[in-house]
Structure 1
Amino acid sequence: MDITEFDIFLVATPGLEAPLAAEAAALGWTPVTQPGGVTIRGGWPDVWRANLMLRGATRVLARIGGFRAMHLAQLDKRARKFPWGDLLRPDLAVKVESVCRASKIYHAGAATQRIERAITEELGAPLADDAPITVKARIEDDLVTFSLDTTGESLHKRGHKEAVAKAPMRETMAAMFLAQMGYDGSQPVLDPMCGSGTFVLEAAEMALGLAPGRSRAFAFQQLANYDSSAFARMKDAVTPRAAPAQFIGSDRDPGAIRMSLANAARAGVTDITRFEACQIFDLQRPEGAPGIVIVNPPYGARIGGKGPLFGLHAQMGEVFRTRFQGWRVGIVTSEAGLAKATGLPWQAPGPIVAHGGLKVRLWQTGPL
């Protein structure tokens, strides 16, 4: 198996492919954007680095090869000849998932069984539903393509956030919304409804240049070709920098502030973050240069009735207009009506993004 260079698919939250492509390009890859993600080319060190460094990807799939197959017997024969042992370990359980599109092999369950049998009988690896390694088979136009999920648990799980508020924003989404607002690590960031602190923590980590995957494990560490010392060197080469700005979260719920403080301590960003219990109408502009206000307020479908929310949004808009001159404001919401209730001078809203069964968008202003 020639595995010096191959396609690596970076899975995006639907609607956030463009900022993920920009992030991949900034890290030196040449991304090709597709629905649902971004493809880059590289070798195994690129797979490791993508998992370690990308803030916007939810998982990293390595395309490890494939072949044509017109019927199940052919799939069985060719799957047995595939060099699984180059990557999979015989002592480690695997799981196979298949999808079939526009192919003579149309039964995904039957295809999965043939591939599972080939791996277990030729390599000796056991099968398990909770296996650390997942082989993904895609059969399209009679072409079978195998990918390995090199990530394991979704990349939004950075390994720092034990405490989570109601209706949390995923870290991957928070990072990409910040990127869409032009955040580059130099501006102060304020979230006045911070919940468990996701926007504030992501902004602080980005400012410090920390690797988002520094505290967690990945599926690729269970592969036969994994080089632990090379990966340790890659992690050690990520050098944090000084952060020029302050990152502030407030919330009316003291429990949310306790969660945010604990999460900031685990992430190692306590020195540059500040959290305080505060009602939205008591919010004051921080001292220093203007920055970015970003907020994921309640939007009805998420936490209950919409009626009182119009008043809350109007009040929020008034606070930002009167106290935050020069700042830019972004809100994430599924309700255009609530965004408009703020009375803020919105630019055209961003693309629709899938968030927990809802369709949300980022609304942002220029400097107020």
Structure 2
Amino acid sequence: MKDFEIFLAALPGLEAVLCDEVRNKGFKQPKAVAGGVVTRGGWPEVWRANLWVRGAGRVLARIDAFRVTHLAQLDARARRVPWGGVLRPDVPFRVEASCAKSRIYHSGAAAERIETAIREALGAPASAEAAVTVMARIDHDLCTISIDTSGELLHRRGHKEAVNAAPLRETMASLFLRQCGFDGQEPVLDPMCGSGTFVIEAAEIAARLNPGRSRSFAFETLASFDAEAWSRMRAVKSQREPAFRFAGSDRDAGAVAMSRANAERAGVGAFTDFQQAAISEIVPPQGPPGLVIVNPPYGTRIGDKARLAALYRTLGQVLRQRFSGWRVGLVTTEPALARATGLPFLPTGAPVPHGGLRVTLFRTAALP
């Protein structure tokens, strides 16, 4: 196959931040669109996107697109897709379809037609549990056929076992770090570190470790896969020793132990520090001013917010008194809680969906 469109999925509201990362990683003319970023390339670019890009949730290879207005037409056209160049006859697949504002409106019937076309054209078995997913999107009568090349969602880096309740996804954490201007050249502190996501992501960015280094991907079972070329790509090491350390603290001893274990598994234990400490006890780590980034509790029940306002007030007070020159990034569902810190926040972007809620990143410039 020649170059085709590659779609990197992002959470709504973070498309422009992901586009910035994709551009910086050297992909061709990336463009932010609803729900993600599109670029163009061949299979090596697909592999590279899965291995390198921190903020993408999944990577789709768009292998064909055509107009259809009824199921018989879809059936005929699906048989002309060059499945043999992408799928293997011995590897199970499944089809997911969605329809919007189209004359074909039954997604189940559309998925069934495409599945039958693949089975009869290729002989590959269909299975609801298959790791390889063919995705069909029929929007305004335009059917786009994509292959999900990632498999498991990309926030599952492959080296984090322990997580706390409602953890922030690594993909989201990396994009929030980028929005705060973090590029690996300064220290980072998370004073409510939970399972260590922000600290570990920051340390990996600074150490230039590929986010996909510890896991496998669905594209490894496709007909287009070249194991030797992939092995060479994975073998390229850009790792470096960070100039700073990355620190996390939490009042919960279990969270601190969890963060340390996760950092060791990620290979960044040597340049991360995790300590048990209350918010009132935090002090700047050694080195120049950097970034404090924190995802405090939000308080989804009535009555929680009054209790949490005191915690946010203490956090703001400590940061204003002890962290002159540092920037702050704070993630919360509640603008009122962010305001309780008394910190001089910059204008915010759109809220981002997270675990059934919508969270906003509040940022400051360097504190006076």
- On whether the aligned pair clears a TM of 0.5, the verdict is yes
Give the AA of the match of 1:239: S
- SS of 2:116's partner is helix
Give the AA of the match of 2:192: M
Give the AA of the match of 1:307: A
Counterparts in 2 of 1:134 and 1:302: CA distance versus 1, 3 Å: farther
Counterparts in 2 of 1:28 and 1:303: CA distance versus 1, 3 Å: farther
Residues 23-62 of structure 1, C-alpha deviations (whole Å, 9 max, x = no match) = 0000112111111101001111000000000000000011
Distance of 1:106 and 1:323 partners within structure 2: 59
Distance of 1:164 and 1:205 partners within structure 2: 18
- Map 1:1-368 onto structure 2 (within 5 A): 3-29=1-27, 30-301=29-300, 305-368=304-367
Give the AA of the match of 1:28: G
Residues 61-108 of structure 1, C-alpha deviations (whole Å, 9 max, x = no match) = 110013332321121122123221111111111110111223322221
Contact 2:8 2:56 in 1 (8 A): yes
Residues 292-311 of structure 1, C-alpha deviations (whole Å, 9 max, x = no match) = 00000001028982221010
Counterparts in 2 of 1:98 and 1:178: CA distance versus 1, 3 Å: same
Distance of 1:79 and 1:32 partners within structure 2: 28
Contact 2:244 2:287 in 1 (8 A): no
Percentage of identical aligned residues: 58
Greater shift, 78-87 or 223-232, is seen at 78-87
The CA deviation at 1:238 is 3.2
Counterparts in 2 of 1:226 and 1:36: CA distance versus 1, 3 Å: same
Distance of 1:343 and 1:143 partners within structure 2: 50
Give the AA of the match of 1:216: R
Counterparts in 2 of 1:137 and 1:34: CA distance versus 1, 3 Å: same
Runs of 4+ in 1 over 6 A off after TM superposition: none
Contact 1:293 1:328 in 2 (8 A): yes
Q: TM-score, normalised by structure 1?
A: 0.97
The CA deviation at 1:352 is 1.1
Question: What's the Cα RMSD here?
Answer: 1.3
The CA deviation at 1:140 is 2.5
Contact 1:167 1:302 in 2 (8 A): no
Counterparts in 2 of 1:185 and 1:139: CA distance versus 1, 3 Å: same
Greater shift, 19-28 or 65-74, is seen at 65-74
Distance of 1:310 and 1:363 partners within structure 2: 16
- SS of 1:90's partner is coil
Contact 1:31 1:40 in 2 (8 A): yes
The CA deviation at 1:141 is 3.1
Contact 2:97 2:111 in 1 (8 A): yes
Distance of 1:345 and 1:54 partners within structure 2: 32
Which ranges in structure 2 are unaligned for 5 or more consecutive residues?
none
Which ranges in structure 1 are unaligned for 5 or more consecutive residues?
none
Counterparts in 2 of 1:123 and 1:361: CA distance versus 1, 3 Å: same
Greater shift, 211-220 or 301-310, is seen at 301-310
